[in-house]
Amino acid sequence: MDNATELAASEPRPHSFGWHRLLPWLIPVLLIGFWQVAVNAGWLNSNLLPSPWSVVQDGINLTKSGELPRNISISLFRATTGFAIGGSLGFVLGLANGLSRVMRGLFDTTIQMLRNIPHLSLIPLVIILLGIGETAKISLVSVGVMFPIYINTYHGITSVDPELLEMGKAYGLSRRALLTKIIFPGALPTILVGVRYALGVMWTTLIVAETISSNSGIGYMATNAQEFMNMDTVLLCIVIYALLGKLSDVIAKALESLCLEWQKKGRTQ
Amino acid sequence: MTSPLVTLTGIGKQYGETAALHDVSFDLQPGEFVALVGMSGGGKSTILRLIAQLEQPTAGTITYADPNLVTRVMFQNDRLLPWMTVLENISFASHDKVQQEKAKSALASVDLAEYADAYPSQLSGGQKQRLALARALMADPQLLLLDEPLGALDALTRRNMQQFITKICDESHLTTLLITHDVDEAARMADRVIVVKSGTNVYSAAGAKGKDAETVAKVADEVLKVILAPEGDGARA
């Protein structure tokens, strides 16, 4: 059997329905089912922990009133803007410091010092300096996202196999070609690890920022509901966080499988 | 005899206090297949790196017949780019149609046309080295430098690759320098065998390329004697 035939044989059959697709959802579904049964049976106080069904109903009502879509939109806007700004800064700094010794000498020590400050500890400072407007929340998300992307971009670039670089130079590749054909693709798996981690930091930062200082967004909705002891909405917000977190993970995985097709193919042999 | 393609005169290379090479002098004639043979750590690979201009000598001069001499190195490890397909590895993912067509014919010349869209990790050791050879030949080099490219292959694949490389170099009349620690390989493939010992070239003799097994064995024996002789016994080339 030649290599091509072996590869074809090892690939999963298309359109096959397998239990493995449902397996990841088994535990969440069982937990929610048990929760519903526990509330219905009176084992849990529905004032403190409402049933999943009443959370769903609350979600429907808030969607109809427009409150939920408005708050999700504003949170998504803050998250994506902060991620774009912080991610770009982290990537550009990581790229510059990874490629240039001068830049590394100039910036790296400062960045390493700043990186060790927990970014959430900046909240009081940010509120005083920037108030509770959009700039404050987007800045916090940017700072939180910047460092994981910086560290992974820098590490990815400085870890590119020097023998591949030497080959590229010996084969007459220009500086630009070395960057686009060897350095960047070589660093990409590590950069994507940073992106995945940063997506998690993005939500955590935004939620904390919205909980402490905001008048809109999912975090604000949860804090507001807590003040009125509206447990349906509090739980709804938590479920939305979980779903947004899962969505981020799905996006990160899709990005990885799109950019790192070669790793997947290599593993199939 | 025509003028040499590359001439090394009194080459020395120091790494700090350590002298890796001293007084290395030989030349490469156009179309000639030369094998540099010797024990590990003797300085063979350093000579290749200096000729490829990956490093600079600390003494002596290297003269090239053509200042724009196109040189390609085939390294011991294949140094293929794992994120590029087999075809892209040869053309460096060039979008230029001419380069792509040339890459396809280079791939066909090393019998890998059917693997064009595969990734290097899906190839066997011998296939990877054939791909590396095709990549080296893409630029139509005037000088091919082979840095122990067959060291990691099994005996059978290694023998096939030896025949394959000899055939391709002969067909294109390509000047080739092979670094190896295998005296049989050197004797079998080369027009001329140079022994490098303790950082300098100590012996030079005609190889047995295309000759019968007995001649190959005789040349290999002579070369081995020089390599194993105590220091100072080797006749200077």
| Res B234: pLDDT | 46
pTM: 0.81
Q: B135 vs A269: CB contact, 8 Å cut-off?
A: no
B116 touches chain A (CB under 8 A): no
Interchain CB contact of B105 with A (< 8 Å): no
> Residue B121 is nearest to which of A173, A182, A269, comparing CB atoms?
A269
Interface residue B111 vs chain A (CB under 8 A): no
Is the pLDDT reported for residue B2 higher than 80?
Answer: no
Q: Is residue B1's pLDDT more than 70?
A: no
Condensed to tens digits (0 to 9), the pLDDT of residues A51-92 reads: 899 999 999 999 999 999 999 999 999 999 999 999 999 999
End-to-end CA distance of chain B: 18
Q: Which of B72, B84, B122 sits opposite A266 (nearest CB)?
A: B122
pLDDT value of position B237:
42
Q: Give me the residues of chain A with pLDDT under 70, please.
A: 1-17, 266-269
The number of residues in chain A equals 269
B162 CA to centre of own chain? 11
Cβ contacts of A98 within 8 Å, gap of 6 or more: A104, A153, A154, A155, A156, A157, A158, A187
Q: What's residue B172's pLDDT?
A: 85
Burial class of residue A118 in the structure, from the number of CB atoms within 10 Å of its CB (0-12 exposed, 13-18 middle, 19+ buried): exposed
B39 token code pair: 């024990």
With beta carbons under 8 A apart, name residues in chain A contacting B89.
Answer: none
CA distance A250 to chain B (A): 23
Per-position DSSP letters for chain A, written without gaps between them: --HHHHHHHHSPPTT---GGGTHHHHHHHHHHHHHHHHHHTTSS-TTTS--HHHHHHHHHHHHHHTHHHHHHHHHHHHHHHHHHHHHHHHHHHHHHHHH-HHHHHHHHHHHHHHHTS-GGGGHHHHHHHHTTSHHHHHHHHHHHHHHHHHHHHHHHHHTS-HHHHHHHHHTT--HHHIIIIIIHHHHHHHHHHHHHHHHHHHHHHHHHHHHHS-SSSHHHHHHHHHHTT-HHHHHHHHHHHHHHHHHHHHHHHHHHHHHTHHHHHHHT-
Given CB atoms, is B72 within the 8 Å cutoff of chain A? yes
Q: Cα angle at B5 between B1 and B11, to 5 degrees?
A: 110
- Check CB contact under 8 Å for B81 and A4: no
Is B83 an 8 Å CB contact of chain A? yes
Whether B114 contacts chain A with CB within 8 A: yes
Number of alpha carbons in the 13 Å side-chain half-sphere of residue A169: 12
Average pLDDT taken over every residue of chain B: 88
Please indicate if any CB of chain A lies within 8 Å of the CB of B137: no
pLDDT for res B199: 85
**pLDDT digit string, tens, across residues B84-122:** 999 999 999 888 888 888 899 888 888 889 999 999 999
B52 vs A3, A170, A263: nearest CB: A170
Q: Which two tokens stand for residue A142?
A: 């940017």
Q: What is the pLDDT of residue A132?
A: 78
Rounded mean pLDDT of B120-128? 90
* pLDDT for residue B99: 87
Q: What are the extents of the domains in chain A? A: 51-268
At B47, is the pLDDT very low, low, confident or very high (cuts 50, 70, 90)? very high
Residues from chain B contacting residue A188 (CB–CB below 8 Å): 83
Contact (Cβ atoms closer than 8 angstroms) between residue A71 and residue A218:
yes
Encode pLDDT of B59-81 as tens digits.
Answer: 999 999 988 899 999 998 899 99
Superfamily of domain A51-268: MetI-like (1.10.3720.10)
A265 to chain B: which residues are within 8 Å by CB? 118-119, 121-122
Q: Which residues of A lie inside 8 Å of B (Cβ-Cβ)?
A: 3-4, 7, 163-164, 166-167, 169-173, 177, 181-182, 185-186, 188, 260, 262-263, 265-266, 268-269
pLDDT of residue A86: 96
The Cα B43–Cα A74 span in angstroms is 66
Dihedral (CA of B76, B82, B87, B88) sign: negative
Whether residues B118 and A266 touch (CB distance < 8 A) is answered with: no
Residue (of A61, A81, A64, A63) closest to A72 by Cα position: A63
Residues of B in contact with A167 (CB under 8 A): 73, 75, 79
User: Which residue has better confidence, B6 or B151?
Assistant: B6
The predicted pLDDT at position B13 comes to 92
Cβ within 8 Å, pair B119-A166: no
Q: How many CB pairs under 8 A join A and B?
A: 60
How close A191 gets to chain B, by Cα (Å)? 15
